[in-house]
Amino acid sequence: MNKKTTKISNFEDDLKKLQSILDDIESDKLSLEDSIQKYKEGMKLSKKCQEALDEAKQVIKLLEDEK
d(CA 61, CA 56): 9
Residue 46 · residue 18 · CB < 8 Å: yes
What is the pLDDT at residue 32? 96
pLDDT digits (tens, 9 = 90+) for 18-66: 999 999 999 989 999 999 999 999 999 999 999 999 999 999 999 999 8
d(CA 40, CA 44): 6
3-65 CATH fold: Helix Hairpins (1.10.287)
- CA distance readout (Å), 29 to 17, 35, 61: 18, 9, 44
pTM > 0.85: yes or no? no
Considering only CA atoms, which of 23, 17, 20 is closest in space to residue 52?
A: 17
d(CA 66, CA 58): 12
With cut-offs at 50, 70 and 90, classify the pLDDT of residue 3: low
